[in-house]
Structure 1
Amino acid sequence: MRIRLAFAASIVLLAPPVQAQSPLTPKDRTAAFLAAGFKFQRGQWSECGDPGTPSYSPGQIDTVRDLNGDGRPEAVITEGSTFCFGMTGTGFTLVSKQADGTWKSITSSQGIPSFLATKGVGGWPDIEIGGPGFCFPVERWNGKAYVRNRHQYEGKACRPQP
């Protein structure tokens, strides 16, 4: 279920957080944040450098699940701030636990990720990146990186406005 919030002429899609399949150990939580480029400062995880604006929300692990079917968890780490992420107000980093137990950053972006049923190389799901407007980019894993594949709105092809 998505919630639509109207702000003037824009709509922001907010995906409710998905509960983790299994909690990460404290060691894995720390390793995931570090792999995403976050630093632990003043009792919270931060990456974007927000100076303390009212819109700021520190880094948190929103989703933990095996996205690509390899038997190891991936985690979506989010942070909120209009100072850092503009009208979208949030950014995310997708990190993956590797076979050797380390964590690796897979992709990051301004926006709200939604994992789709369509897949790229290695079983990685396409990611629709939501934010203001009515036409969202969808990125697909090509074996090395997530790259722009198409734009869509409610599952239908669209063209972003310039």
Structure 2
Amino acid sequence: MKRTGLILAAALLLAPAFLPKALVAPLGAAAPGAALSPVEQAAAFRGAGFLMVRGKWQACGDPGTESYMPGTIEAVRDLNGDGLPEAVIIEGSGFCFGAAGTGYWLMSQRPDQTWKVMSRGQGIVQVLPTRGAAKWPDIEIGGPGFCFQVLRWNGRAYVHNRYQYEGRACRP
């Protein structure tokens, strides 16, 4: 494996360290009440636009680079208090996601069991304790550097709210 592939693989393995402990189950264990059935998992992946290719969920179109890591459901939790789960799906690829090396999809299950994309992009999602007027928490999109974008739900979509690093305002 090339050096860049090793760095990306290490970054993806450490990605859960960037997510709040309340959002990520320990490796090998499911958070209480957070497990999705195989049918729900497949529906979440399909809702995010993933396709099953040779037994792995893929979305970004990576041509087979060494840095590629197929889609995984990184975390499951009810973020907005409606009793339905939200899921963070990640996929790794320097080819598709540049220096961030990771793409994310924040998915929300609807009452009819379909899944809706709430936010998607390049980087590592961290759910923050802050919220706007809506019930959805702010999300920080981490990546290379020391100043990260924070998105806030405006009632229809997650939009730019501010930049911060370790909770302090910054300029990219």
TM score, norm. by length of structure 2: 0.83
Distance in 2 (alpha carbons) for counterparts of 1:121 and 1:145: 13
Aligned-residue offset at 1:121: 4.1
Of 137, 162, 166, the residue aligned with 1:150 is 162
Amino acid at match of 1:112: I
Distance in 1 (alpha carbons) for counterparts of 2:37 and 2:15: 27
Partner of 1:4: none
User: 1:134·1:153 contact (CA, 8 Å) conserved in 2?
Assistant: yes
Distance in 1 (alpha carbons) for counterparts of 2:113 and 2:100: 33
Q: Which has the higher helix share?
A: 2
Alignment length, in residue pairs? 151
Partner of 2:4: none
Partner of 2:76: 64
Q: Which has the higher strand share?
A: 1
4+ aligned runs moved over 2 Å, structure 1: 12-17
Structure 1 residues 121 and 102, CA, compared in 2 at 3 Å: closer, same or farther? Answer: farther
Distance in 1 (alpha carbons) for counterparts of 2:15 and 2:148: 13
Distance in 1 (alpha carbons) for counterparts of 2:73 and 2:16: 14
SS state of the match for residue 45, structure 1?
strand
Matched, 1:95 2:107: yes
Q: Residues 109-148 of structure 1: matches in 2 within 5 Å?
A: 109-148=121-160
Distance in 1 (alpha carbons) for counterparts of 2:84 and 2:90: 20
TM score, norm. by length of structure 1: 0.88
Distance in 2 (alpha carbons) for counterparts of 1:93 and 1:39: 14
**Any idea what the Cα deviations from partners look like across 1:1-34, whole Å, max 9, x if unmatched?**
xxxxxx8xxxx98443611532111111110000
What are structure 1's unaligned runs of at least 5 residues?
Answer: 1-6
Partner of 1:24: 36
**Any idea what the Cα deviations from partners look like across 1:134-160, whole Å, max 9, x if unmatched?**
110000000100000000011000011
Q: Residues 6-85 of structure 1: matches in 2 within 5 Å?
A: 14-16=15-17, 18-19=24-25, 20-21=30-31, 22-85=34-97
User: 1:48·1:84 contact (CA, 8 Å) conserved in 2?
Assistant: yes
